[in-house]
Amino acid sequence: MKTILITGGAGFIGSHVVRLFVRKYPEYKIVNLDKLTYAGNLANLNDIEKLPNYVFEKGDITDEKWISELFGKYRFDGVVHLAAESHVDRSIANPMEFIMTNIVGTVNLLNAARAIWGDDTTGKRFYHISTDEVYGSLGEDGKFTETTPYDPRSPYSASKASSDHLVRAYFHTFHLPVVLSNCSNNYGPYQFPEKLIPLFIHNIRNNKPLPVYGKGENVRDWLYVEDHAKAIDLIFHKGSDGETYNIGGNNEWQNIRLIQELCRIMDRKLGRAEGESAKLITYVKDRAGHDLRYAIDATKIKEELGWEPTIRFTEGFEATVEWYITNEGWLNNVTSGDYQKYYEQQYVKR
Ligand code: NAD
Ligand code: DAU
């Protein structure tokens, strides 16, 4: 039996990865380590929490001593590292949390893996999940490949870039068997409503303004979260040591076009007159240092590992909207309490 640590498993992408691994690999013991910050929510895993191969450990990856004890207790065979502070806007408001979790936390995990694996790393793997934002911002043409030079431009992407460099350094210096991936924007169920799609669904439902940064001309490459989880499974099991794989949806949308499409779907789902939800669109001050365009060239993972997105955007987007409408309780639960304070600081007091 293999024991696999998944960090950040109570968050958006992590919960999909935990669910996939727990269900697909009953012969593995899956340990989900999560601090349960505002973005972590055990309700994301209600459907699998009682399965015998699943264990939850609440803790902080910046706590070096606790991490070292946890690795001693479970003697993990593999690590899938997703835990991070992940929201660009929050990194602009408070960079230090990002430095601590994304950089120091990652190094604590690398050190703990190195300490228990020693020189015999047969069958071991440390998988670091990263983002396309480390590559910077594109103009109108081109896509990010695995060899695009790093050019991070927000505290979030700089902290992720730093952790990527450290993971690679542990491969070259200490021969730690690492693998990395850099993915584009994910969408789907269980995403915290500080990110564009769930935030705007929530606001449309509640007839609140839709705060579009700048002119809404920025472009993102959207991928359904379950397709990302499948790519993670494949890379974890079949990727090569020391390699990086770019993951993307080949699905670019200018923000304003995506938002208009969302408004149309919401009008239909909520029985509103066509154009009603779009009236909520409000242009607000642009995000500081807002990257214009991200787009991923995912040729390498397709050619080497045979991965491609399986969910068409029209299908995935509709299913996502339906999920947030059906799971109103989940949305209401995560938007109570501290969320209100965050929202006021981010949008109202600009
Ligand atoms: P998320 O914010 O939804 O979840 C992050 C999880 O990490 C939460 O459960 C949180 O409680 C946990 N966490 C935060 N700090 C911690 C700490 N100090 N110790 C332990 N746990 C801690 O993030 P997400 O969107 O699911 O992103 C997961 C990973 O994927 C991140 O590394 C992110 O950089 C990367 N990524 C995200 C996207 C995206 O579109 N969301 C795209 C590419 C890559
Ligand atoms: O590209 C991968 C990254 O995608 C991940 O690494 C990050 O963890 C994830 O948060 C996401 O980053 P973005 O900054 O692209 O996502 P966000 O949902 O915050 O914003 C998407 C776009 O929408 C971006 O151009 C900013 C814009 N936006 C966002 C919000 C929250 C608005 O116009 N208004 C808003 O209120």
**Domain range annotation of the chain:** 3-184+222-250+290-310
End-to-end CA distance of the chain: give it in Å, rounded. Answer: 53
Question: Does the pLDDT value for residue 341 go beyond 90?
Answer: no
Query: 277: which DSSP letter?
Result: G
Q: Which of 97, 195, 320 has the most ligand 2 atoms within 8 A of CB, as the residue to mutate?
A: 195
Q: Which of 287, 293, 346 has the most ligand 2 atoms within 8 A of CB, as the residue to mutate?
A: 287
Active site residue 132: yes
Contact (Cβ atoms closer than 8 angstroms) between residue 315 and residue 249:
no
Average pLDDT of 202-219? 97
% of the chain surpassing 70 pLDDT: 99
Q: Which pLDDT does position 74 carry in this prediction?
A: 98
Active site residue 261: no
Q: Which pLDDT does position 345 carry in this prediction?
A: 87
Question: Does the pLDDT value for residue 7 go beyond 80?
Answer: yes
Question: Does the pLDDT value for residue 52 go beyond 70?
Answer: yes
Angle at 255 between CA 252 and CA 261, to 5 degrees: 90
Q: Which pLDDT does position 350 carry in this prediction?
A: 52
pLDDT range class, residue 338, cuts 50, 70, 90: confident
Lowest mean pLDDT among 21-35, 194-208, 323-337: 323-337
Active site residue 315: no
pLDDT range class, residue 63, cuts 50, 70, 90: very high
Instruction: Look at residues 124, 134, 126 and name the one whose alpha carbon lies nearest to residue 164.
Output: 134
Identified catalytic residue from 85, 132, 221, 252: 132
Q: Which pLDDT does position 340 carry in this prediction?
A: 86
Residues 109-150 have pLDDT tens digits of 999 999 999 999 999 999 999 999 999 999 999 999 999 999
DSSP line for 41-100 = -GGGGTTTTTSTTEEEEE--TT-HHHHHHHHHHH--SEEEE------HHHHHH-HHHHII
> What's the gap in Å between 82 CA and the centre of ligand 1?
5
Average pLDDT of 242-258? 98
Nearest CA to ligand 1 atom 13: 83
**CA count, 13 A, side-chain hemisphere, 1:** 13
Q: What is the CATH number of domain 3-184+222-250+290-310?
A: 3.40.50.720
Tokens (6 digits) for 310: 């399986």
Residues 94-103 have pLDDT tens digits of 999 999 999 9
> What's the gap in Å between 84 CA and the centre of ligand 2?
15
pLDDT range class, residue 349, cuts 50, 70, 90: low
> What's the gap in Å between 84 CA and the centre of ligand 1?
4
Contact (Cβ atoms closer than 8 angstroms) between residue 154 and residue 133:
yes
pLDDT range class, residue 27, cuts 50, 70, 90: very high
| Global model pTM greater than 0.95 | yes
Cα separation, 157 vs 159, whole angstroms: 5
Question: Does the pLDDT value for residue 276 go beyond 80?
Answer: yes
Give the binding-site residues of ligand 2, using a 6 Å CB cut-off: 86-88, 131-133, 184-185, 195-196, 199, 211-213, 218, 220, 255, 287, 294
Give the binding-site residues of ligand 1, using a 6 Å CB cut-off: 8, 10-14, 34-37, 39-40, 60-62, 82-86, 101, 105, 129, 131, 160, 183, 185-186, 192
**CA count, 13 A, side-chain hemisphere, 164:** 26
Question: Does the pLDDT value for residue 159 go beyond 70?
Answer: yes
Instruction: Look over the chain and give the mean of its residue pLDDT values, rounded to a whole number.
Output: 97
Angle at 242 between CA 126 and CA 132, to 5 degrees: 85
